[in-house]
Chain A
Amino acid sequence: MTLEKDNLWYKDAVIYQLHVRTFSDSNADGIGDFAGLTQRLDYLEELGITAIWLLPFYPSPLRDDGYDIADYTSVHASYGSLEDFKTFLAEAHRRGLRIIIEMVLNHTSDQHPWFREARSSRENPRRDWYVWSETDTRYQGVPIVFVDTETSNWAWDPISKSYYWHRFFSHQPDLNFDNPAVFEAVWEVMKFWLNLGVDGFRLDAVAYLVEREGTLCENLPETHAIIRELRKRLDLAYPGAMLLAEANQWPADVRAYFGDGDEFHAAFHFPLMPRMFMAVKLEDRKPIIEILDQTPEIPESCQWFIFLRNHDELTLEMVTDVERDYMYDEYATDKTMRINRGIRRRLAPMMDNDRRQIELLNGLLMSMPGTPIVYYGDEIGMGDNIYLGDRNGVRTPMQWNSALNAGFSLADPERLYAPVISNAVYGYQAVNADSQKRSEHSLLRWMKSLLQVRNAFQVFSRGTIQFLNPSNHRVLAYMRQFGEETVLVVNNLSSSAQAVELDVQRYKGYIPIEMFGRNLFPRFGNSPYLLTLGPYQFYWFQLRRI
């Protein structure tokens, strides 16, 4: 298989998110690497994903899991070499898998040569590449992101005896995008990777690129201007390459980052994610309907990226206080599970390892409008380790088999970058890819069939959505439509069997075909269409008029 020439590939993609470090170790040093990842590409191809989103793999002091980049044009020695990356990229493309990499534009590590030069003296030519101040009172009122760690957005630099601005950790100084040289430098970095063949960038923390007094220093017009210029250059020189925005904002605010189709190609829909969890726990479709009602239309060429879990905490920034308290009470009763404003847990443990709920949530993810992202390990129901610091509990080694170190590495267990999960429920002896490959009814096999169906119908990735709103609020039902394809999705959000009557008058005469078993259901008629669903059950029906 080779990559098809399709500039809108990101709209039809199913993305797999992973960190090189966590996936597969080829040289027995206890740390995953590109050579190991390359060996596992067959697994990902078989799973049915179509793109891989790699977390930062650049040289870095790793004080923020690689988001503190010390060199933008190389590979961290632990993960291999640039040559290893090129091999990986070629092998992925050979299998039809696109590669999206991280690009952190907002800040660098304080170990990056640019910052070292900038702080070395006030006269250094790179001094103005960062945001400096004589006082720590500028930009008062700007929120602090990592409230558990930082007390100010300013940090004192004892070398140049002044303050520098950082929206994240104090070891991550913000770049100064008011300096045109900074923009040119990051464009050079992006060109470097595009020339190697990467298919897209996830631009980290894009809302914070520019600072202005009297504002929250977020979402400023100057930031949008920078994005537009990047996009313009990208379209001109690298058509088909994609920009994905990481902006943890309300949809109405994120909407601006699509511009008129001239800024980002895609952006995460952060508020939808906690509401999917909430809806299942509440057994009520209201949270999902509400947030999608509030989601504005986006340009035809743009796409929302949606997800259940990722490498960070399950962020609860985009919920009300009442909703946050509810999520904590229901999904993070042990306070160790909480970090910043979120929950550091994986999908399966959050669902108490209930296969039906895990399937329902994945069913929602794959049938909602947007490009779905699967976080590594969630396809086999991996657990977490909440006793590891920061968010490392959801970044443990991939569980490949029941051999030493879960098949992740041949190193001594003590040498692994993080211990493998080994408890009785989620441990690698019980939960691993190899055993699930062999079991016809495993979660992994089920995920494959789910992705197979999803990938066979463009309606899921590009279609419109229309909610049916049956009187039974525990049932979430919607029509997806794209061209001649029409799909009815019916989800039982509750833990008990439900009956629901659907108003499908508009589709009178259509035959619903259950999409996994390809079984025919009774034709839609004049009356409301009665369906019964078991606990957490969902149906996908292809509608055909024959």
Chain B
Amino acid sequence: MAEDVFLSDDLLRQLMSVGEVDLLVGMSSLHAANTVSHALDEIEESFQRNFVRQRVVIVNVGGGDNDEDSARAKGHDNLAEKGVRVPGITSLRTSHRVAANVPGSPSPGIALRTILAAADLLRARACAVVSPAASNLTPDSVANLLRPVYREKFDFVAPLYTRNKYQGLLARNLLYPMSRALFGWGIRELFSEEWAFSGRLAALCLNQDVWHEEAIQARPEAWMAISAMASDFRCCQAFLGEKSQATKGLGRDIVEVLRQTVGTLFWCLETRQSLWLDSGRSQSVPTFGPAHELTSDPTDLDRHRIFEMFRSGVTELEPILSSILDPETHSEIKSIVSLEEGKFRFKSGLWVRTLYDFAASYHHAVINRDHLVQALAPLYRGMTYSFLAEHSDSSPAEMETASETLCGEFELQKPYLMERWKAKVEVKS
């Protein structure tokens, strides 16, 4: 019964007052105390500049009553109520703000579920989720997310960014090409802190019995995208400008990042088997605004350290890798580990086969799935080292060509994954 009433009475009362809306922007203000006011202002300004006639609401999911961030968000008067206006612009309607306080520290999954429930109850036509911590959040970026849904009737909008060529390597070398090859849709930023969706996708996802899943709790956005694909909903990408987060180092938190992203992707493969096992060649998705852009600023990544972590990690995890990888793949990995740093290359064919081995073993649960995903970390470091060495002088165009080649490799080897996926495997105890 608790599942049926996860929305608080207070939230329901607020939603009653809002009524039906055209546009909903949701965000979680947890751990964003310093930026939440700015984010609210940017969203309000976006409404006033771009959607003067529409019924709009901001749903801010915060922690319990002691949560400083949500308290700050709650206390932040909205522009319309204060009578402050964008010069020359007048919103015709009341601009609403809903503060949804969830006990404790709500995970992204809980926050999204709350936002989806609000969207469903308010019959929102277009919704976006944004991160108040993102410095690239602007009135334009909010509008660029919402427009394809509201005006063009798309059901899912993933962001596209201008990125440094050394940024987003996990997306470039793993998440994008693998998801594109398997699910058939070329969405570059499957994992992002900002995306948009239609009311009907919100309703579809809200009613899935997945909200207890760990994968959904951490990074629910890819699951939403894949749910859209699975239902033949219309997906697209929208260019939002420069990606705000600084390049993440490949240090200790890569394990957590892999758990959240690759773990979720593998979980989606598991739960959406019929979708990808039967899908054909991948297709591109429509893009609003400029295509994916790369810049060539220098990087301070310590390649030598990355290589050392690869080598030591593979050595330490030898027994685990042997249970995950196909023997031939494992043998090739062992052979490249022994190469000198200067001569080391992680070839794309081997990288794809390695990932497919991991995915198949995840499916067969040859070991604890969480441990399995963590074991990918050293191999990902090896791939990253190889990528950095190979592309230190590459132009953005050359990078794109390489990216397309890698996508092709993933597609080429998809039968290999399917074969391993369907094989009967004896799980070691």
A residues contacting B by CB (< 8 A) are 278, 282-287, 320, 322-323, 326, 470-474, 494, 498-499
Q: Are B14 and A471 in contact (CB under 8 A)?
A: yes
Q: Which of B44-62 contact A (CB under 8 A)?
A: 52-53, 55
The yes or no answer to B96 lying at the interface (CB within 8 A) is yes
Which residues of A lie under 8 Å from residue B55 when comparing CB positions?
A: 284
Interface size on B, residues (CB 8 A): 15
Given A322-B52, A326-B53, verify A472-B93 contact (CB < 8 Å).
no
Cβ of A499: which chain B residues have Cβ within 8 Å of it?
16
- Residues in B whose Cβ lies below 8 Å from that of A287: 92
Of the residues B14, B19, B53, contact of A474 by C-beta under 8 Å = B19
Q: 21 A-B pairs, CB-CB below 8 angstroms?
A: A282-B92, A282-B93, A284-B55, A284-B93, A284-B94, A286-B92, A286-B94, A322-B90, A322-B92, A323-B90, A326-B53, A326-B92, A471-B13, A471-B14, A471-B17, A472-B19, A473-B17, A473-B19, A473-B93, A473-B96, A499-B16
Q: How far is the CA of A381 from the CA of B2 in the complex (A)?
A: 53
Q: Is B89 an interface residue (CB 8 A)?
A: yes
Q: Are A323 and B19 in contact (CB under 8 A)?
A: no
A322-B19 contact in complex given A284-B94, A286-B94, A471-B14, C-beta closer than 8 Å: no
Task: Given A322-B52, A326-B53, answer yes or no on A278-B92 (Cβ-Cβ < 8 Å).
Answer: yes
Q: Measured between alpha carbons, how far is A282 from B19 in the docked complex, in Å?
A: 12
CA A426 to CA B19, docked complex, whole Å: 34
Contact with A473, one of B53, B89, B94 (Cβ below 8 angstroms): B94
Bound CA span A483–B53, Å: 40
A323 touches B96 (CB 8 A): no
Please name all residues of chain B whose beta carbon is closer than 8 Å to the beta carbon of A278 when the two chains form the complex: 92
Residue on A nearest B16 in the bound complex, by CB: A499
| Closest-CB distance, B86 to chain A (whole angstroms) | 11
Residues of B within 8 A of A285 (CB): 94
Query: How far is it, in angstroms, between the C-alpha of A499 and the C-alpha of B18 when the chains are bound?
Result: 11
Question: Once the chains are docked, how many angstroms separate the CA of A382 from the CA of B6?
Answer: 52
- Asked if B92 contacts A494 (CB within 8 A), the reply is no
A473 to B53, CA, bound (A): 15
Chain B residues 209 to 251 lying within 8 A of chain A, measured CB to CB, are: none
B contact residues around A473 at 8 Å (CB): 17-19, 93-94, 96
Q: How many whole Å from B89's CB to the nearest CB in chain A? A: 7
Q: Considering the chains assembled together, what is the distance between the CA atoms of A470 and B17 in angstroms?
A: 8
Question: Which A residues touch B89, using CB under 8 A?
Answer: 322
**Bound Cα distance A473, B94 (Å):** 7
B-chain residues with CB within 8 Å of residue A283 when the two chains form the complex: 19
- Asked if A472 and B17 make an inter-chain contact with CB atoms under 8 angstroms apart, the answer reads yes
Besides A322-B90, A470-B17, 16 more A-B contacts (Cβ < 8 Å) are A282-B53, A283-B19, A284-B55, A284-B93, A287-B92, A320-B90, A322-B53, A322-B92, A323-B90, A326-B92, A471-B14, A471-B17, A473-B17, A473-B18, A473-B19, A474-B19
Distance, CA A123 to CA B1, complexed state (A):
97
Q: Which residues of B contact A322 (CB under 8 A)?
A: 52-53, 89-90, 92
Among residues of A, the one whose C-beta sits closest to the C-beta of B80 is A286
A80 to B94, CA, bound (A): 53
User: Which residues from chain A contact B16 at a C-beta distance below 8 Å?
Assistant: 472, 499
Whether B17 lies near A284 (C-beta < 8 A) is: no
Chain A residues, CB < 8 A from B13: 471
For A471, list chain B residues within 8 Å (CB).
13-14, 17
Asked if A323 and B92 make an inter-chain contact with CB atoms under 8 angstroms apart, the answer reads yes
Report A-chain residues with C-beta under 8 Å of the C-beta of B90. 320, 322-323
Chain A proximity mask over B340-381: 1 for CB below 8 Å, otherwise 0: 000000000000000000000000000000000000000000
Q: Please, which residue of chain B has its CB at the minimum distance from the CB of A498?
A: B19
Contact with A along B1-40 (1 / 0, CB 8 A): 0000000000001101111000000000000000000000
Cα separation A494 to B94 with both chains bound (whole Å): 14
A287→B14 CA distance, assembly (Å): 21
Nearest B-chain residue to A293, judged by Cβ? B83
Residues of A within 8 A of B94 (CB): 284-286, 473
Query: What is the bound-complex CA distance between A183 and B14, given in angstroms?
Result: 61
Cβ–Cβ contact B92 & A284, under 8 A: yes
B49 → chain A, closest Cβ, in Å?
11
Known: A278-B92, A286-B94. A494 touches B19 (CB 8 A): yes
Cα–Cα, bound, A471→B96 (Å): 10
**Contact residues in A for B19 (Cβ distance below 8 Å):** 283, 472-474, 494, 498
Q: Within 8 Å CB of A474, what residues of B?
A: 19
Query: CA separation between A125 and B19, bound complex, in Å?
Result: 69
User: What are the residues of chain A within 8 A of B92 when measuring CB–CB?
Assistant: 278, 282, 284, 286-287, 322-323, 326
Q: Which 3 A-B pairs have the closest CB atoms?
A: A471-B17, A473-B94, A284-B93
Residue of A nearest to B96 (CB): A473
Q: How far is the CA of A320 from the CA of B17 in the complex (A)?
A: 27
Q: Which residues of B contact A470 (CB under 8 A)?
A: 17
Within 8 A of A (CB), among B79-115: 89-90, 92-94, 96
A320-B85 Cα distance, complex, nearest whole Å: 13
Residue among B13, B17, B18, B89 with the most chain A CB within 10 A?
Answer: B17
**Which B residue's beta carbon lies closest to that of A470?**
B17
A359 → chain B closest CB, angstroms: 21
Kindly report which residue of chain B lies nearest to residue A500, judged by CB atoms. B17
Task: Name the B residues within 8 Å of A472 (CB-CB).
Answer: 16-17, 19
Alpha-carbon distance between A278 and B16 when the two chains are bound, in angstroms: 22
Note all chain B residues with C-beta closer than 8 A to A286: 92-94
Closest chain-A Cβ to B218's Cβ sits at a distance in Å of 34
B18 / chain A contacts, CB cutoff of 8 Å? 473
Residues of B within 8 A of A284 (CB): 55, 92-94
Q: How far is the CA of A285 from the CA of B89 in the complex (A)?
A: 18
Q: Complex Cα distance A473/B89, Å?
A: 20
Q: Within the complex, what minimum Cβ distance (angstroms) separates B127 from chain A?
A: 20
Q: Which of A322, A326, A498 has the most CB of B within 10 A?
A: A322
Alpha-carbon distance A508/B52, docked complex (angstroms): 39
The closest CB in chain A to the CB of B53 belongs to A326
The minimal Cβ–Cβ distance linking B23 to chain A, given in whole angstroms, is: 14
Separation of A456 and B415 alpha carbons in the complex (Å): 85
Measured CA separation A469–B232 after assembly (Å): 44
* B53 surroundings in chain A (CB, below 8 A): 282, 322, 326
Chain A proximity of B4: nearest CB distance (Å): 21
Shortest distance between the CB of A466 and any CB in chain B (Å): 18
A471 nearest CB neighbor, chain B only: B17
A322, B16: Cα distance in complex, Å: 28
Q: How far is the CA of A470 from the CA of B14 in the complex (A)?
A: 11
Rounded to whole angstroms, the CA-CA distance of A285 and B96 in the bound complex is 13
How far apart are A471's CB and chain B's nearest CB, in angstroms?
Answer: 4
- CB-contacts of B303-317 with A (<8 A): none
CA A256 to CA B127, docked complex, whole Å = 47
A473 CA / B98 CA spacing, docked (Å): 13
| Minimum C-beta distance from A472 to chain B (A) | 5
Closest beta carbon of chain B to A259's beta carbon, Å:
29
CB distance from B57 to the nearest CB of A (A): 11
> How far is it, in angstroms, between the C-alpha of A323 and the C-alpha of B93 when the chains are bound?
11
Bound together, the chains give a CA A286 to CA B93 distance in angstroms of: 6
A442–chain B nearest beta-carbon distance, Å = 32
Complex: A283 Cα to B94 Cα, angstroms: 10
Nearest A residue to B17, CB-CB: A471
Nearest-neighbour CB distance to chain B for A531, whole angstroms, equals: 13
What residue of chain B has the Cβ atom nearest to residue A275's Cβ?
Answer: B92
Please report which residues of chain B, range 111-155, place their CB below 8 angstroms from some CB of chain A when the two chains form the complex.
none
Q: How far is the CA of A322 from the CA of B51 in the complex (A)?
A: 11
Q: Find chain A residues with CB under 8 A from B93 CB.
A: 282, 284, 286, 473
Instruction: Provide the residues of chain B in CB contact with A326, threshold 8 Å.
Output: 53, 92
On chain A, the residues within 8 Å of B14 by CB distance are 471
Whole-angstrom distance between the alpha carbons of A489 and B14 in the complex? 23
Complex: A284 Cα to B92 Cα, angstroms: 9
CA distance in complex: A472, B19 (Å)? 8
A324 to chain B, nearest CB (A): 11
Closest to B91 in A: A286
Distance in angstroms between the alpha carbons of A221 and B16 in the assembled complex: 51
Cα distance, A225 to B53, chains bound together (Å): 43
Shortest beta-carbon distance from B341 to chain A in Å:
63
For the complex, give the distance between the alpha carbons of A494 and B55 in Å. 13
